Amino acid sequence: MQKEYSIQDFLEVKATGSPSFSPDGSKVAYLSTITGTTQVYLISSDGSGSEQLTDYPDSIGFARFSPAENKIIFGKSEGGNEQTQFFVLDLETRKTTDITRRTDVRHDFGAWSRDGKKICFASTERNGKDFDVYVMDVATLEKKCVFDGGGWCAAAGFSLNGTYVIALQKHSNFNNDAYLCNVASGEVEHITPHEGHVVHMNPRWLPDESAFFFTRDQDKEFMGLAKYTLANKSSEYVLTPEWDIDGVAIDNEGKRLAIIVNEDGYSKAKFYDPLTLKELPYTLPSGNITTTHFSQDGTKLTLSIGDSCRATDVWVMEFESGESRQLTHSPQGVPPEVMVEPELIRYDSFDGLSVPAFVYRPKDIPEESKLPVIINIHGGPENQYQPSLASITQYFVHSGYIVVAPNVRGSSGYGKTYMALDDVEKRMDSVKDIVSLRDYLKTVPGVDLDKVVLMGGSYGGFMVLAGLAFYPKLWAAAIDIVGIGNFVTFLENTASYRRALREAEYGSLENDRELLERISPFNSVEKIQAPLFVIHGANDPRVPLSEAEQVVAKLKELGREVELLVYEDEGHGLAKLKNRLDAYPKVVNFLDGVLK
């Protein structure tokens, strides 16, 4: 008989990731959730001597080893407010230094310079709204603005000798530009003039600074790899798989190029010679590979690898031998064989569009059983559900639910045309994709159509509320986590640096207010019939708590069944294990009460 595991067992499954090598390659810094929040750890590259380096109440957002010294830079915010500050931990003295010292400013890390003397980053220091790109001397803390073009900009790294920084300027989440910034002279050159919507990402330089590789989707559906040559100021595609290239890395000697290709939601790494673009025949362990990072001498590579049944862990590959070894072994109290691998299916939506979805089915269920279904909707909306280990999903499946995770129109990973199918006036077509999924469930054996539950976070929370408000008779219950209830109040109250990008996706308050009001679930809240459970963080800078409060208040006024959980030390989601251990058992009890 299969052992029964509790929700706590599933929630306490840990994960590690974001590895980076020490300058000599002997150590690897990484992030892990072992303590219940994400903290920085250190391990020898042979897998021995793991050590916890930080222990804060809040999670660490990133950590990167200096390329030249035994120091690690990391970033963290407080209570989920996303106002990230930078700290440098000296591993010789074990002293941690706050190098940004502006808790009223958000800082987004870019990279170290190769000599370890400088970092580049973007911050809202100038006016609280626009992200400017800076270069900072880590020893003196003196900084210089190298790009202030306005809007949401990012520092995309140094050239290898530190001559240039590339700044990326977002016009929307599906359109941006790149600028070549000369650090010494201050000269700025726009290197990606284009028409229409084009995304440019992941610049990675050749050692002599003559050219760099980057990903883009100009004139293509998917993100291909292009090469920009400084001498003739032009770029051309060099690799164009029929899926998105999500990640790029190149070693300091320019001998190996690594890319991560997102094939139908599964992430795979491939290697090439950067000069000939000939594929190199290295074999990696099975699983989804989410990050790659070369050692300074280029002889080793770190990877983050996991899958639907195994927690993500850090691996190291040795290029000389071609062998890989697992460095970390994240605690996983629920064995992989208990977890369920989802089936990737496609269903036809109302207009004939083929929509991909991952379906998790419980094991060893009698044929005559009729099971409740949870439709789990991702946020973004330009995100993509990918089958990594999802503890809550696996718990529900273990408890007898079927869980379906669709990538409705507007999701990334399926081409730029697919991603644009929900823009502005097309917003409700994505909600219809969820309705069509429920229709598809009629054809799936073992489904109880009277017990279909909606669940989603952020934009997925909007999808949940929209499903309840505009198609009220189809759902038995719903879980809304940090969701948007009213697009007008959301755009008015979201962090000022986010509004322009969100208006590019949803429509603007100036030009599209009538549409935004019409598609806002709050304005049809009286139609909601299904019981609703809402979770929100008090410090959420993306979707303010007021979005949840107004929906819940109105539903209570109408006498509907609704519950609200607010966590004072959280932002856009639940980052702390203690809060997940509090919230999700209450979600389970809520669903048990409604469905059983």
State the DSSP code for 552. H
CA-to-CA distance for 437 and 372, rounded, in angstroms?
Answer: 14
Task: Let me know: does 331 contact 10? Beta carbons within 8 Å.
Answer: no
- Which element (helix H / strand E) includes 551? helix 545-557
Identify the helix (H) or strand (E) that includes residue 137.
strand 132-137
Residue 533's alpha-carbon distances to 20, 530, 551, in angstroms, are: 40, 10, 11
Mean pLDDT in residue range 335-358 = 97
Instruction: Calculate mean pLDDT across residues 265-270.
Output: 94
Length of the chain: 596
In one letter, which amino acid is 465?
L
Lowest-pLDDT choice from 227-241, 436-450, 491-505, 530-544 = 491-505
Using CB atoms within 10 Å of the CB of residue 491, give its burial: 0 to 12 exposed, 13 to 18 middle, 19+ buried.
Answer: buried
Looking at residue 172, its pLDDT comes to: 87
In angstroms, the CA 404 to CA 466 distance is 18
Share of the chain above pLDDT 90, in %: 92
Q: Which tokens in the block code for residue 576?
A: 């702390």
pLDDT for position 2: 64
Q: What is the pLDDT of residue 4?
A: 86
Q: What is the dihedral of CA 508, 513, 518, 520, to 10 degrees?
A: 60
Phi, psi angle pair for 156, to nearest 5°: -100, 20
- pLDDT tens digits, one per residue of 117-174: 999 999 999 999 999 999 999 999 999 999 999 999 999 999 999 999 999 999 988 8
Q: Is the peptide bond before 381 cis (omega within 30 degrees of 0)?
A: yes
pLDDT for 3 equals: 78
| DSSP secondary structure letter of residue 527 | G
Q: Of 5-19, 314-328, 494-508, where does mean pLDDT reach its minimum?
A: 494-508
Average confidence score pLDDT of the chain: 95
Q: Which pLDDT band, with edges at 50, 70 and 90, does 367 fall under?
A: confident
Task: Find the helix or strand (DSSP H, E) in which 251 lies.
Answer: none
d(CA 293, CA 219) in angstroms, rounded, equals 29
Contact 338, 9 (CB under 8 A): no
pLDDT of 1 over the 70 cut? no
